[in-house]
């Protein structure tokens, strides 16, 4: 599966996560919706939509959790007919990342949750200057510029059509 | 049904040498009920997810090889063994010490399967 990352240190942990969890699609993004890495998508527009929707879902579930439980919910699971989705917030010293994972019957929610936690640990280990280097502030004035730059970095080759590779 | 599952867990856990017993959803790899003696809950979730995956692969392998249904799965390791049986979507998993009597565990697992049938 093709794995692409805006920052190179993310690529290996994400690749391992996709292999271990047998994910069909995985996207790592900031809560603002800025994509950091992706695996499985072949079109930038699909990544952009996925990131926007994942960020919205995370914001919604987080607020629901705060109102119902006093704390934001950390994971959201949707089960479809053939594919399932797990959206998890990964707390690292560089800040919070969201991991959107799509999987099918070859994996399971338990495995995805298990390896999501391992991905979090791997990101912490792999992050350069883990404490000093902070991600770009959310909803910065240059959000769109950053978004387009990240998408361009992920999709430098010809654009395909399939959503799930 | 829930109390029935708790009874199954209790009976399995009473066997000599049993360190953990779990009822796991094969489809989700999530713990339905468990009794753990080897550590924190996170370990139980790891065992559940991976054991369910192993059991499912064994079931699919047996099916692909036209061997029929998997009756009993045993995984031997340096410091113990993992035993599993399954029916429908539930997998009963026992983690036992090397000295545990696998024959007795097997009997209890099959009895438990009859209970949840």
Enumerate the domain spans of chain A: 2-126
Q: Which pLDDT does position A57 carry in this prediction?
A: 95
Encode pLDDT of A87-101 as tens digits: 999 988 888 999 999
CB B27 within 8 A of CB B89: yes
What whole-number distance in Å separates Cα of residue B31 and Cα of residue B47? 9
- What class, spelled out in words, does domain A2-126 have in CATH? alpha beta
From A28, A79, A81, A78, select the one nearest A57 (Cα to Cα): A78
Q: Which pLDDT does position B40 carry in this prediction?
A: 53
Query: Are A114 and B46 within 8 A, CB to CB?
Result: yes
Predicted ipTM beyond 0.85: no
Compute the nearest-CA separation of B63 from chain A (Å): 15
Chain B: residue whose CA lies nearest to A111: B49
Average pLDDT along chain B: 90
CB B19 within 8 A of CB B38: yes
Output phi, psi for B77, to 5 deg.
-130, 175
Name the pTM for this structure: 0.79
CB proximity under 8 Å: A 108-127 to B:
108-111, 113-114
User: Is pLDDT of A157 > 60?
Assistant: no
Average pLDDT along chain A: 85
Q: Between B30, B50, B56, which is nearest A109 by CB?
A: B30
What whole-number distance in Å separates Cα of residue A10 and Cα of residue A144? 22
Residues B108, B109, B110: CA angle, nearest 5 degrees: 90
Q: Which residues of B touch A111 (CB under 8 A)?
A: 29, 49-50, 53
User: Is pLDDT of A16 > 80?
Assistant: yes
User: Is pLDDT of A164 > 70?
Assistant: no
Q: Which residues of A touch B50 (CB under 8 A)?
A: 111, 114
Residue that is written with structure tokens 């978004």 in the block: A147
Rounded average pLDDT over A106-117: 94
What whole-number distance in Å separates Cα of residue B9 and Cα of residue B18? 11
């Amino acid at each position: 599966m093709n794995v692409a990352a805006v920052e190179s240190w993310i690529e290996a942990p994400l690749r391992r996560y996709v292999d271990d969890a047998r994910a069909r699609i995985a996207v790592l993004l900031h809560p603002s919706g800025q994509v950091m890495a992706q695996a499985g998508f072949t079109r930038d527009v699909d990544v952009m939509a996925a990131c926007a929707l994942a960020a919205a879902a995370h914001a919604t579930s987080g607020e629901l959790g705060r109102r119902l439980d006093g704390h934001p919910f950390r994971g959201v699971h949707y089960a479809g007919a053939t594919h399932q989705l797990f959206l998890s917030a990964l707390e690292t010293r560089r800040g919070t990342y969201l991991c959107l994972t799509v999987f099918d019957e070859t994996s399971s929610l338990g495995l995805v949750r298990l390896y999501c936690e391992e991905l979090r640990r791997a990101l912490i280990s792999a992050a350069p200057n883990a404490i000093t280097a902070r991600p770009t502030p959310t909803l910065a004035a240059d959000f769109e510029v950053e978004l387009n730059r990240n998408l361009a970095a992920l999709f430098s080759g010809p654009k395909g059509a399939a959503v799930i590779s | 049904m829930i109390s029935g599952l708790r009874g199954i867990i209790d009976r399995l856990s009473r066997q000599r040498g049993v360190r953990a017993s779990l009822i796991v959803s094969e489809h989700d790899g999530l713990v339905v009920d468990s009794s753990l003696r080897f550590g924190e809950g996170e370990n139980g979730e790891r065992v559940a997810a991976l054991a369910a995956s192993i059991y499912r692969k064994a079931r699919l392998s047996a099916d692909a090889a036209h061997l029929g249904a998997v009756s009993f799965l045993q995984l031997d390791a340096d410091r113990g063994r993992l035993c599993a049986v399954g029916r429908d979507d539930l997998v009963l998993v026992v983690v036992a010490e090397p000295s545990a009597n696998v024959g007795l565990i097997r009997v209890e697992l099959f009895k438990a399967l009859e209970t949840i049938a």
